């Protein structure tokens, strides 16, 4: 399964090679914007994109980005709960 994480393009770092800095949940990472650039890479600054393995794969609006980030946070919390339950089950099995 491919998972794109919303990130906001905050600056163009290398226009010739279509590289930009994206901020994803407070973390900045350089990404390739070749898949989403129309003409001028600078026009992407401020835009939201789905980021996957170092590439901006598609542009999304800010509302969609917020909803996706919230859903991902919820999945993270669910995963933490499942892991805690598994650890609890393993501990109980060890005491039987």
pLDDT one-digit tens code per residue, 37-51: 999 999 999 999 999
Bridge partners of 23, per DSSP, are: 8, 28
Q: Is the pLDDT of residue 54 over 60?
A: yes
- DSSP letter, residue 88: H
CB atoms within 10 A of CB 64: 13
Strand partners, 21: 11, 30
Instruction: Report the percent of the chain where pLDDT is more than 90.
Output: 58
Each residue's pLDDT tens digit, 73-85: 888 766 666 577 6
pLDDT in tens, 3-29: 788 999 999 999 999 999 999 888 899
Closest CA to 8 of 43, 53, 50, 63: 50
Calculated CA dihedral for residues 64, 13, 44, 72, nearest 10 degrees: 0
């Amino acid at each position: 399964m491919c998972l794109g994480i919303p990130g906001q393009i905050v600056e163009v770092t290398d226009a010739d090679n279509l590289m930009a800095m994206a901020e994803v949940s407070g973390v900045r990472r350089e990404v390739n914007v070749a898949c989403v650039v129309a003409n001028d890479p600078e026009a992407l600054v401020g835009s939201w994109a789905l980021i996957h393995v170092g590439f901006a794969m598609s542009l999304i609006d800010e509302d969609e980005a917020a909803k996706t980030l919230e859903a991902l946070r919820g999945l993270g919390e669910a995963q933490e709960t499942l892991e805690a339950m598994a650890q609890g089950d393993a501990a109980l099995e060890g005491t039987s």
